[in-house]
Amino acid sequence: MKVTALELEERQEGKSLYSYQKGAIDKIFTCFEDAPEDYHLLYQLPTGGGKTVIFSEIVRQYLKHHKKQVLVMTHRIELCKQTSNMLSEFGVSNKIVDSKADLSDQGDFNCFVAMVETLNNRLTDNKLDISDIGLVIIDEAHYNSFTKLFKFFEKSFILGVTATPLSSNINLPMKDNYNELIVGETIHSLIENEFLARAEVYSYNVGLTSLIVGANGDYTVKSSEDLYTNTDMLTKLVQSYEERCKNKKTLIFNNGINTSLHVYDTFRRAGYNVAHLDNNNTKKERKAILKWFKETPDAILTSVSILTTGFDEPTVDCIILNRATKSLTLYYQMIGRGSRILKSKNKFTVIDLGNNLHRFGPWGSDLDWHKIFRSPNFYLDGILSDEDLEENFRYEMPDELRAEFAKSEDVYFNIKAMYIQSVREGDSSKVILERSIAHHARICIENSEDVWDALGLAKMLKDDIDYRIQRYTKCISKSTFNFVEWLKDDYKKKLNAYLRTNFDEVYEEIHGFPPVEE
């Protein structure tokens, strides 16, 4: 896809169609003309690629050349209003069918925009005449709430649009409801041609084995909140923000309102400019919060899942995934909120605190959507479990901490390899922790002038110690909460004792001379 200089100029004007969008419209209309009247077509295009622009132009052209009506369905009221406004910009007069709509004038319109639940009620009550609907467009088609309405449109051409043609319900694959998939431009292509910003992703390894998968196939809110509201995770969140996103406009996604409120309190106490938003906020509150977020350069907005669709704020510089998800769609939706490009923005930062990068791969990686559409279970079964993911993790010190240990060539200690070696040699498993403590002590002494320096460095090793203890307890298959906490505390006490007892000896072994006494 080569972008012309003329198209680059047109971008500044607003709603002009680009070559790839025109190409998509041609493909869709070709399919429409050749297919039977009840054909179901699915079109995929990444978030930010202009799906609403494309189907608004399709509506305009359809109404111009056909003597039938069009219905556009969404799953949220905000999307209804945005879609209606976009259609109006394309010169399409339309009527929103919401719970308060007066349908006495429905004969004056050839295009209707409706939320799925409201439409279901209106159709059940026979209050909306759909006898002349020739084209039905479904936005965010991966949501399954739409399928119950298909029975009303057995003689209509249905066009579903989505960024991720993978059903939100694993038991209701999209291939059962759509005859064909057309795949649009890739994220890579849109980035290369400066339609989307490039994501710089920083993933922090997180232990997720305490999370529970619910009936919907994703992690339960309760188990997520138990993990993400603990002090260690909130500290990791703030530290990662300060390392990568400080003073940038930041959007934080959480799994649960309670978690978002904890995040809000944590950042507020740290002196940051933060607000919280969830579906309990009134329309007035929501509008005020989003206005504040738009106008405040260093704003932090923490929320649950309500901003994954129907929210477009190009000035977002940083996305933090303060949650884990099993949903590829949700993963792409969350990151996509930061992908809007501006003259002053061609990249954005993503912090992943849910091992999502390891689970799904990089945002914009080369996914075979046709294969996923045809065989969703094959794709889903290939996703690694949390146990398998964490088995491959290796703790890496943050850059600032690694600088404190600059004189040490290697700060990594392989607990699993040491466990295997100890088993082969017939040693007690306690030997592993003794050798780990000796290694930690050595790198502390290597970077210190006296024992007090070394003890100070030892305090900075909390995350590394936690990681080693976690790996150790997996090896010995003993991981009750109280035992793990006791083990961490005991490790730190023994490390401090080792430093006090052995500092001079280890220092001389490293440097070839004893420490200088002042």
| pLDDT, tens only, 386-398 | 777 776 677 788 8
Residue 466 has pLDDT above 70, yes or no: yes
Q: Where are the beta strands (DSSP E) in 163-260?
A: 180-183, 198-203, 250-253
Mutual orientation of helices 51-65 and 77-89 as an angle, nearest 10°? Answer: 60
83-102 mean pLDDT: 86
Residue 507 has pLDDT above 90, yes or no: yes
- Supply the pLDDT for residue 458: 96
SS (H, E, C) 69-129: EEEEEECCHHHHHHHHHHHHHCCCCCEEECCCCCHHHHHHCCEEEEEHHHHHHHHHCCCCC
The region that residue 92 occupies, defined by phi over 0 for left and psi between -120 and 50 for alpha, beta otherwise, is beta
Residue 518 binned pLDDT confidence (cut-offs 50, 70, 90): low
Top mean pLDDT of 64-68, 88-92, 269-273 is at 269-273
Output the furthest CA–CA distance in the chain (Å, rounded).
95
Other CB atoms within 10 Å distance of the CB of residue 68:
14
DSSP string over 249-317? -EEEE-SSHHHHHHHHHHHHHTT--EEEE-TTS-HHHHHHHHHHHHH-TT-EEEESSTTSSS---TT--
Answer positive or negative: Cα dihedral of 202, 391, 304, 372.
Answer: positive
Residue 308 binned pLDDT confidence (cut-offs 50, 70, 90): low
SS (H, E, C) 14-76: CCCCCHHHHHHHHHHHHHHHHCCCCCEEEEECCCCCCHHHHHHHHHHHHHHHCCCEEEEEECC
- Residue 349 gets which letter from DSSP? E
Residue 12 binned pLDDT confidence (cut-offs 50, 70, 90): very low
Tokens at 508, concatenated: 């001389």
